[in-house]
Amino acid sequence: MTDTEIKISIRSLYKIFGDDPLPALQHVKDGLSKSDLLELHDHVLGLNDINVDVPAGKTTVIMGLSGSGKSTLIRHLNRLIEPTAGEVWVNDENILDYSESQLRELRKHMMSMVFQKFALLPHRTVLQNAGLAPSVAGQNERQYADEARKWLDRVGLQGQGEQYPHQMSGGMQQRVGIARALTSNSDIMLMDEAFSALDPLIRTDMQGLLIELQAELQKTIVFITHDLDEALKLADHLVILKDGSVIQQGEPQHILLNPAAPYIEDFVSDINRARVLRVRSVMTKTADSAGERAGEIDHDDTLESVIALSEGDTSRSYLVMKDGKSIGVLDMRKLVRALVPVEQSGDAESARLGG
């Protein structure tokens, strides 16, 4: 991400829950584990030396199992939770130095948040919920109605503005939550398990809506999930947590192809790699377009689509295109090798060699 503008920079962030966190922090810095900290000192390690750069205009997904620290981390970005140590830089300002008034401005104008449980106000109409941010800023309904209605229409809730939350399904309520975040016109959207409470089909629909909106608006989104399929679908930058620590982060395709730890290997072992991996991740980069090719494919096509195109013929190779220019070649044999997880691929190679 060296050529990408960084919107949020998290540096050496720690969070210890307990009555006396500073001595406990020193134990953690000296190498004490999360479980030992709890057993020996009755303190809970929430975050352990987190260092993450969030690129502007992209979707950063933070994922991990329950208790990994992902929801704790996102709540540090708008200081709903205060850290034990560390820094959180937003637009080159350390928000841990902010006063209460500066924090209010940050939350009103720079960051919006979409919650898992929707957090709609039951006594307000859908339009009034969508217009919450401008309402808090002092605008009346007549002033913010057009903007709120625009985003309600954009998320598929045309004509629903006079409804109340209890009259809507869970998926519709979450759409109101997204419209509310968009009406605030903030650069940064924090989404904490925003789709986890939804039924699978509605959840898939909401993921598609978010991808569509992001392609158009290019907000800086920090999205929390415990679901790897969702993470791989949404993420430009993926951060995987375990026990409050970052185990691996980077471009999702790279993590899938190069898991850095057994924990990550376990996470990705059951993924349908053909459906997730893109041509750009497994092609051979070359400006040489010479040679006999079976056709042209786009750098962002899934391997699943290329398999269908090739009709399973592993002798074929394709010219990879991006914006009308050739950038590489994909050999079907290399594609097939990419479908085998790293550990299994190594086992297969050992077996072939008699190891």
The whole-angstrom separation of Cα 231 and Cα 221 is: 13
The whole-angstrom separation of Cα 277 and Cα 28 is: 37
Q: What is the CATH number of domain 6-268?
A: 3.40.50.300
Whole-number pLDDT of residue 335: 92
Q: Which two tokens stand for residue 216?
A: 């158009």
Please state, as a whole number, how many other Cβ atoms lie within 10 Å of the Cβ of residue 155: 23
Amino acid 52 reads V
Contact 183, 134 (CB under 8 A): yes
Query: Binning pLDDT at 50, 70 and 90, where does residue 350 land?
Result: very low
Please return the burial class of 163, using the count of CB atoms within 10 Å of its CB with bins 0-12, 13-18 and 19+.
Answer: middle
Averaged pLDDT for residues 11-30: 96
pLDDT over threshold 90, residue 355: no
Averaged pLDDT for residues 25-54: 96
Averaged pLDDT for residues 10-24: 96
pLDDT over threshold 50, residue 33: yes
Residue 130, SS3? helix
The whole-angstrom separation of Cα 304 and Cα 324 is: 22
Closest CA to 295 of 196, 305, 132, 27: 305
Closest CA to 317 of 335, 300, 304: 335
pTM of the model: 0.86
Half-sphere exposure (Cβ direction) of 161: Cα atoms closer than 13 Å: 20
| Domain layout of the chain by residue ranges | 6-268, 273-338
Contact 160, 129 (CB under 8 A): no
In the beta sheet, which residues pair with residue 70? Answer: none
Query: Binning pLDDT at 50, 70 and 90, where does residue 1 land?
Result: very low
**What are the angstrom distances between the C-alpha of 306 and each of 81, 182, 342?**
46, 36, 21
Ramachandran angles phi, psi of 333, nearest 5°: -65, -40
The whole-angstrom separation of Cα 126 and Cα 128 is: 5
Q: Which CATH class is domain 273-338?
A: alpha beta
What's the pLDDT tens digit per position in 113-166? 888 777 889 999 999 999 998 898 889 999 999 999 999 998 889 999 999 999
